[in-house]
Amino acid sequence: MNNLREIWAKRFVYYINELQKYLKFIFTGHIAIVLVFVIGAGGYTYSEWLNTAPKDFPAFLVVAFILSILLAMSTPVTLMKHADSVYFLPLETKLKEYLKLALRWTYFSSIFLSLAAFLVSIPLLTKVAGATKEELVSFFIFILVMKYWSIYAEFNYRFASDGKSVWVDRFIRFLLLFAALYFLLSGNYVFLIVVVIIQLIYVFVWQKKKQEVPFPFDHFIEVEQSRMMRFYRFANYFTDVPHIRGMTKRRKWLDVVYNLVSYGQKNSQLYLVLRTFIRTNDYFFLWVRLTALSVVGVIFIPFPIVAIIFTSALAFATVVQLRHALLSGQEFRMDQLFPIDPDARKRAVNKLMRMIQFVQAILVLAVVLIQGEFRLPLFLIPIAVYIVSELTIRMSKK
């Protein structure tokens, strides 16, 4: 298989099949409902805010800042494997064809997030900042060009530096992208030309440096393996991924929580699932992230009904994902050697879900109290979190 285009084609087909295999478990009916609630709540809040947005709101700065972050995230997708550092060595001089296909896929697979942010920003730019159709079209084209520049610049940097201090490169590209987007939106075309020239010099410098070093196979293989592992870990929240195991950590500062489970044979499963939840990074940080989103939503969503929908959707997602993960573990456990009631673990998981969702509701209530607005609709937010969690536990089939 000396034809690198053929190698890429075979790997690309396998990669797409791998994505489809797990995405069908991720985007199920449950997640679709959550997405509908979240998008609906976000869209409603956004539209209501636009009606009352102040005329001096820095729309150009906000849009340029958000898009710059998305454009700067341009990690190359090479689909490389561990053995490539050996088998690709004789083909290193012909590797350009393979990398061209890799960068093309990186561009088309990552541009959609930036375009989605652009579409969301259109009402803000037109209604608040007064942007015209011609300005929006030029901004759209500029985003397409900047994304390609960002991908190509990060690839050259990784190639030339073997991936060392890649966050420095990302920060520099973020600043250049932010300046270019802001100057374009604000109409400062002289400064825009200066920034674009700096961008061209930046990518040219790293392109020239990469010609002086051999291709860093180990770095790009590590980047690709880390990228796929992140996808597998995310998919593992929804279904079992055979070749992945979650990382664990002691979290000594949470040892006191184990005292909540009284000593006794009937509580053995609850003690085990509690330790599993606290010590498994995937489970613990999933709950932390979704709880943090609920807290942030309560702080920044000005409409109680929208906040109720948003936090309820996150509570639903928390219970569905964590409950499935804790009940679907295929690893061997010592309790499997003893004649324990098969439903004992299910009851223990349900009890744990009630415990942690009660904590989630309490944290949401604390934020409501800290804000100092003692209105009945606001106190319905933490109540909705716990009620939705309880209904989800009761209605779950497994």
Is residue 328 very low, low, confident or very high in pLDDT (cuts 50, 70, 90)? confident
| Top-ranked range on mean pLDDT: pick from 187-196, 226-235, 331-340 | 187-196
pLDDT at residue 339 above 60? no
Q: State the DSSP string of 19-46.
A: HHHHHHHHSSHHHHHHHHHHHHHHHHHH
Average pLDDT over residues 8-22: 91
- Who contacts 6 (Cβ-Cβ below 8 Å, separation ≥6)? none
Q: Where are the domains of the chain?
A: 4-234, 252-395
CA distances to 38, 56, 73 from 28, rounded to whole Å, are 15, 42, 27
50 or 331, which is more confident? 50
pLDDT at residue 1 above 50? no
- Who contacts 231 (Cβ-Cβ below 8 Å, separation ≥6)? 19, 22
Q: Quick one: what percent of the chain has pLDDT higher than 70? A: 91
pLDDT at residue 107 above 90? yes
Round to whole Å and give the CA distance between 18 and 25: 12
Round to whole Å and give the CA distance between 76 and 121: 26
Q: Of 149, 157, 162, 60, whose CA–CA distance to 110 is shortest?
A: 149
Round to whole Å and give the CA distance between 11 and 15: 6
pLDDT at residue 330 above 60? no
Is residue 29 very low, low, confident or very high in pLDDT (cuts 50, 70, 90)? low
Round to whole Å and give the CA distance between 285 and 157: 32
* End-to-end CA separation in angstroms for the chain: 47
pLDDT at residue 376 above 90? no
Average pLDDT over residues 372-376: 77
Contact 186, 61 (CB under 8 A): no
For residue 248, the 8-state DSSP code is B
| Top-ranked range on mean pLDDT: pick from 4-8, 173-177, 228-232, 311-315 | 173-177
Q: Could you identify the residue written with the tokens 């966050």?
A: 167
Is residue 333 very low, low, confident or very high in pLDDT (cuts 50, 70, 90)? low
207-264 per-position pLDDT tens digit: 999 988 988 989 999 999 889 888 887 777 666 677 666 667 778 888 888 888 877 7
Average pLDDT over residues 165-180: 94
